[in-house]
Amino acid sequence: MASDFTVFLGEMMRRPKEVSAIAPSSTAVARKMTEGVENVSGPIVEIGPGTGSFTKVILERGVAPERLILMELNPRFCEELSRKFPGVTVLNRPAQEIEQLGVTGLGCVISGVPVLARPQIQREVVGNAFKVMSPEGVFVQITYSPNAPIPEDVQIDMGIRATKRGTVWANLPPARVFEFRRRMQ
């Protein structure tokens, strides 16, 4: 059985367009990304789970496997995720299809999908997620930029606002975690 890093490195070399990170996320980032996830109601979707760094911590926080849906493009990662996390729904589908899953009232979306400087992805992924999210739902995003990965004008247009959860220096590279929520009317 190959280690997460071995699987990650192999897929990064085989499919560089699908693997955008330079290493799997650290446990410290996973803890910051998943803060409070055990307190949300409704289904939880993780997009771009890769080798499952965040998935592992989500389940450790007490979220029942049947509440968790993983959307991953890489077929090898999907195989590994299904093997490692029984009871979790693993879908080999792009994050842009979140609205088409037939699931509503999402309590949380945990995103490892890079959205920085990609306006089309921002609208297709984050925008579509909010269409099926509960009113109090939260979208949590990792980024390597010091600023929110979605510009303020796009946030306003999408009816959301960003709050920085924090910076995790114990990651390669150091990561920032932002959460997005609906703007209050």
Q: Which comes out higher in pLDDT, residue 179 or 118? A: 179
Average pLDDT score over residue span 144-163: 94
Q: Which comes out higher in pLDDT, residue 59 or 123? A: 59
Q: What CATH number corresponds to the domain at position 15?
A: 3.40.50.150
- Per-residue pLDDT of 66-78, as tens digits, reads 999 999 999 999 9
State residue 12's pLDDT score. Answer: 42
DSSP string, 74-87: -HHHHHHHHHHSTT
State residue 17's pLDDT score. Answer: 54
Do 85 and 59 form a contact (C-beta atoms < 8 A)? yes
| Residue numbers of the domain that contains 39 | 4-182
What pairs with residue 24 in β-bridges?
none
State residue 20's pLDDT score. Answer: 54
Indicate the average pLDDT of the chain: 88
Measured CA distances, 154 to 36, 72, 117, 123 (Å)? 26, 25, 11, 9
Among 1-5, 70-74, 95-99, whose mean pLDDT is lowest? 1-5
Taking the C-alpha atoms of residue 151 and residue 47, their distance in angstroms, rounded to an integer, is: 21
- Three-state SS at 180: strand
Helical ranges in 37-139 per DSSP H: 53-60, 75-84, 119-121, 128-131
State residue 24's pLDDT score. Answer: 64
Percent of the chain scoring above 90 in pLDDT: 76
Q: Number of structural domains, the chain?
A: 1
Taking the C-alpha atoms of residue 134 and residue 156, their distance in angstroms, rounded to an integer, is: 19
- Per-residue pLDDT of 101-122, as tens digits, reads 999 999 999 999 887 767 788 8
Average pLDDT score over residue span 65-91: 97
State residue 139's pLDDT score. Answer: 97
Strand 133-143 and strand 175-182: pairing?
Answer: antiparallel
State residue 7's pLDDT score. Answer: 46
Q: Which comes out higher in pLDDT, residue 141 or 18? A: 141
State residue 1's pLDDT score. Answer: 52
State residue 3's pLDDT score. Answer: 58
Do 176 and 145 form a contact (C-beta atoms < 8 A)? yes
- At residue 79 the predicted structure's pLDDT band, cuts being 50, 70 and 90, is very high
Do 43 and 104 form a contact (C-beta atoms < 8 A)? no
